[in-house]
Amino acid sequence: MAEKPSVLIIGGLGYIGRFLAQHIHKNNLASDVRIVDKVLPQLAWLPSEFEEACAGAKFVQADASREQSLPRIFDRADGKQFDYVFNCGGETRYSQEDEVYKLRSFDLSLNVGREAAKRGVKCFVELSTGMVYKPDSSPSKEQDKLKPWSKIAVFKLQAEEELAKIEGLNLVIVRLAHVYGPYASQWVATALCMARVYKALESEMKWLWTKDLRQNTVHIDDVSRALWAITGWYTAGKAKWDDGKMGKVPTFNVVDKGVTTQGTMADIIGEVFGISTGFQGSLISTFAKLNLDSVVDDVNDELLGPWADLLAEAGITRPGPLTPFMEKELLKDTDLSMDGSRLEDVVGFTYEKPKISKELVEEVIESYKKMKWWP
């Protein structure tokens, strides 16, 4: 039997990194795993079931955006090189200064990419976002027009383009939809926290724009499985890949088949919380488009106080990463709409959670309760 691959996960305590590490650990897929993160496990809101996969001897604390950290990150006791490197690192918060994204996302990607090429890593997976596409009436395929519409996406696309120029780098690019699942602290979490406040206020939760605005999703379990499937496919010889037609760098959208829209989310949230949900009329939406800053500030002012009260009433003194704080970049009237068929056709991947559902959203809330994050 061939030896199992050795794996390095940069940003391994982040949301995707920890689930990938756990997937590899649970299924015994690797001969050796190293988790690198600039944050210590004790400070990373790490649920206990991830400790075995992510902490202890497997963990190395290092900042991968700094060149002097590279030997600590990549060197191994036996002098061999890692087979697979997953770059799950980078800045995931919205509304930061450009310099922050340049250093923590762009520089980090190039730093580890160059090193992986130098060391002959067999497969280097760069995580990117579906927000790099120019929104269109039909879902974006991997070779469709690009026009990044969040700052994270601007710097992720720059990283994709520069990594593609590195001689000898065995690069794969993965562009993700909104990732949700247990312990998620971003997009889905914001909506759930907002809904919790509206329930407490006994008022209707209304979305801007329309119910048809596409906000495509993918479950974290499928993301972990897809990342692993892609590396296996790549190192086995990239079957069905045609450089001429598809481009030199294998690029895959990872998105479920549910075509999630704001309407989908409104229906699920209404059911889960027992609140009425709806959409602001075109008049308010038009006003919001022109005054997005003040609209976002108003919503946040309205929700943050009651959320703090809910936490206090529930005796939650150490709140987790959850907040109803609405990021302006996420409130844009822009479709996140992706076509994920290439991954299925070329790699032969199948989604186990093909669409977001009431049950899967309830599972997310249960995970928050377990962590004592949820009022």
According to the model, what pLDDT value does residue 104 have? 79
For 276, other C-beta atoms within 10 Å of its C-beta total: 12
Distance separating alpha carbons of residues 338 and 254, to the nearest angstrom: 8
Task: Give residue 242's identity as a one-letter amino acid code.
Answer: D
Cross-strand bridge partners of residue 172: 125
Please list, residue by residue across 296-312, b when 16 or more beta carbons sit within 10 angstroms of its beta carbon and e when fewer do: beebbebbbeebeebbe
Q: Which residues contact 182 (CB under 8 A, 6 or more apart)?
A: 220, 363, 364, 366, 367
pLDDT classification of 208: cutoffs 50, 70, 90: confident
Task: Give the tens place of pLDDT for each residue, 66-110.
Answer: 999 999 999 999 999 999 999 998 777 777 787 877 777 889 999
CB 254 within 8 A of CB 350: no
Give pLDDT tens digits for 303-343.
999 999 999 999 998 878 899 988 887 777 888 999 999 99
Distance CA 221, CA 182 (A): 9
pTM of the full structure: 0.95
